[in-house]
């Protein structure tokens, strides 16, 4: 006999698990399913540095979401790497911008955290709640019925629910089964990702250099055993990425030092490198009756500013707000009018961020001399505009527009200022 739930979330990653936690204290019967085991700790990567190569630059808004759900404090300080400054420059010119959290009276712009640490913290916060964690299961079919959806699983089980949320990533199987259409294109770049140990400290700074071949980002990680560590994301043309991947460690260190202008001294060590093709995807719709897309299942963007998971967590905050409000009003949470409230709130914001990242990516790939002059002059000009820079910082921190209650600071929520 099929198990019945009010809501099934497919995907127990950072976004899906956070949505489950956001709804765990409601009257809804919630299930989360994933292909990985959910009854044991996530596997620890075997790296020399001890760091997982998959990290995220969590904004202040994302921190608020995790804090309000009791997950942030489960990530110990040794695994949360605050960055207080950001330095962005044109590797082909003289333009450079520096951002500082103190401009807004803050002590950090955000934190760099391994994805695994965030996911584990949220899954741990689900302990003792009524949420059903269904690991080692894959959806093989999705069938619409009179009372909602039937999910057929690869272990012959079936699950029933009026509302299903796809949080199963950029290559979402559920999105495909439900027939959502995508706008999709290839960036014609690959991202080389790894963790490095540097000669000099990173100064709590997120560094980003725009090179003719694509942007190179060094994201600060906490020092360990006297060593200085950064996570790197290096966007390269496919041929260049293939060449970089083929280098030995010494050759890679030399290439990276040159590309980064030696700003952190010598590269003393690098973990195994990973090469990831970059594609942008955006679903034409986020919802249909009884089904919603969140996170990378709805949109995936260039890792230029590390905004992917932040957009996904804001999706969660908005969808949770919509569903909780609908429950309080006695509405059908699976109905299209209810779900479209979420879509209206998030689609415009996500498209705006995607357009901005696309614009940056195109501008810094432009080789025409007038455009190179304009972008360098523009960076120098912006660096001197205090108020404008403060606005850019606020947006990067996820604080640039009206936030759903979950994304507001715990202090605001405690004062009742975040009530919707």
Give the count of beta carbons closer than 10 Å to the beta carbon of residue 106: 16
Q: What is the pLDDT of residue 417?
A: 46
The per-residue b/e assignment along 22-36, b for 16 or more CB within 10 angstroms, e otherwise, is: bbbebebebbbbbbe
Q: Is a pLDDT exceeding 80 seen at residue 388?
A: no
Q: Where are the alpha helices (DSSP H) in 161-307?
A: 173-178, 238-246, 249-259
Residue 379 in contact with residue 391, Cβ under 8 Å? Answer: no
- At 330-362, the pLDDT tens digits run 999 999 999 999 999 999 888 876 666 665 555
With the CA atoms of 229, 235, 236 and 237 taken in that order, what torsion angle do they form, in degrees rounded to the nearest 10? 160
Q: Which two tokens stand for residue 73?
A: 């404090």
Q: What is the pLDDT of residue 212?
A: 82
Q: Which two tokens stand for residue 358?
A: 């696309």
How far is Cα 235 from Cα 369, in angstroms, rounded to an integer? 22
Q: What is the mean pLDDT of residues 286-291?
A: 98
How far is Cα 416 from Cα 91, in angstroms, rounded to an integer? 47
Q: What is the pLDDT of residue 90?
A: 82
- Which candidate, 335, 336, 338, places its Cα nearest to that of 319? 338
Quote the strand ranges of 199-265, DSSP E. Answer: 205-211, 214-224, 227-236
When mean pLDDT is compared across 166-175, 216-225, 400-409, the lowest value belongs to 400-409
Q: What is the mean pLDDT of residues 84-100?
A: 80
Q: What is the pLDDT of residue 360?
A: 53
- At 299-342, the pLDDT tens digits run 988 776 567 899 999 999 999 999 999 999 999 999 999 999 99
Q: What is the mean pLDDT of residues 231-252?
A: 96
Q: What is the pLDDT of residue 104?
A: 77
CA atoms within 13 A on the CB side of 210: 25
Residue 397 in contact with residue 59, Cβ under 8 Å? Answer: yes
Where residue 225 falls (left for φ over 0; alpha for ψ -120 to 50; beta otherwise) is: left
Percent of the chain with pLDDT over 90: 69
Q: What domains can you pick out in the chain, each with its CATH number?
A: 3-40+56-181+284-414 (3.50.50.60), 185-278 (3.30.9.10)
Tell me which range, 67-71, 223-227, 375-379, 392-396, is most confidently predicted by mean pLDDT.
67-71
Coil, strand or helix: which one is 163? strand
CA-CA distances (angstroms) from residue 104 to 59, 64, 108, 305, 392? 14, 17, 10, 19, 11
- What is the pLDDT of the chain when averaged over all its residues? 88
């Amino acid at each position: 006999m099929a198990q019945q739930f009010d809501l099934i979330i497919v995907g127990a990653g950072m976004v899906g698990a956070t949505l489950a936690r956001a709804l765990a204290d409601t009257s809804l019967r919630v299930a989360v399913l994933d292909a990985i085991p959910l009854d044991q700790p996530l596997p620890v990567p075997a790296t020399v540095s001890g760091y997982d190569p998959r990290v995220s630059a969590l904004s202040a808004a994302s921190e608020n979401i995790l804090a309000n759900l009791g997950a942030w404090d489960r990530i110990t300080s040794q695994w949360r790497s605050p960055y207080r400054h950001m330095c962005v420059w044109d590797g082909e010119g003289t333009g450079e911008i520096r951002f500082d959290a103190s401009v807004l009276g803050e002590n950090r712009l955000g934190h760099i955290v391994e994805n695994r640490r965030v996911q584990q913290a949220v899954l741990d916060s689900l302990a003792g709640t009524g949420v059903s964690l269904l690991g080692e299961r894959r959806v093989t079919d999705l069938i619409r019925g009179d009372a909602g959806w039937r999910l057929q699983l690869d272990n012959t089980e079936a699950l029933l629910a009026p509302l299903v949320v796809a949080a199963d990533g950029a290559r979402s199987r559920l999105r495909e089964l439900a027939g959502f259409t995508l706008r999709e294109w290839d960036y014609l770049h690959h991202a080389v990702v790894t963790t490095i140990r540097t000669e000099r400290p990173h100064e709590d700074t997120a560094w980003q250099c725009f090179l003719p071949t694509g942007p190179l980002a060094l994201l600060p990680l906490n020092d360990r055993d006297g060593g200085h560590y950064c996570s790197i994301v290096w966007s390269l043309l496919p041929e260049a990425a293939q060449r970089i991947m083929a280098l030995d460690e010494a050759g890679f260190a030399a290439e990276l030092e040159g590309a980064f202008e030696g700003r952190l001294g010598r590269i003393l060590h690098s973990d195994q490198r990973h090469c990831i093709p970059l594609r942008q995807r955006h679903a034409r719709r986020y919802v249909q009756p009884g089904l919603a897309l969140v996170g990378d299942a709805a949109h995936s963007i260039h890792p230029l500013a590390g905004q992917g998971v932040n957009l996904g967590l804001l999706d969660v905050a908005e969808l949770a707000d919509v569903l909780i409000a609908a429950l309080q009003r006695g509405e059908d949470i699976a109905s299209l009018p209810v779900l479209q409230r979420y879509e209206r709130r998030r689609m415009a914001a996500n498209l705006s961020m995607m357009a901005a990242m696309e614009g940056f990516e195109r501008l810094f790939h432009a080789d025409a001399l007038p455009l190179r002059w304009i972008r360098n002059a523009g960076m120098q000009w912006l660096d001197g505009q205090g108020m404008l820079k403060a606005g850019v910082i606020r947006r990067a921190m996820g604080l640039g527009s009206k936030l759903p209650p979950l994304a507001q600071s715990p202090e605001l929520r405690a004062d009742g200022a975040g009530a919707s």
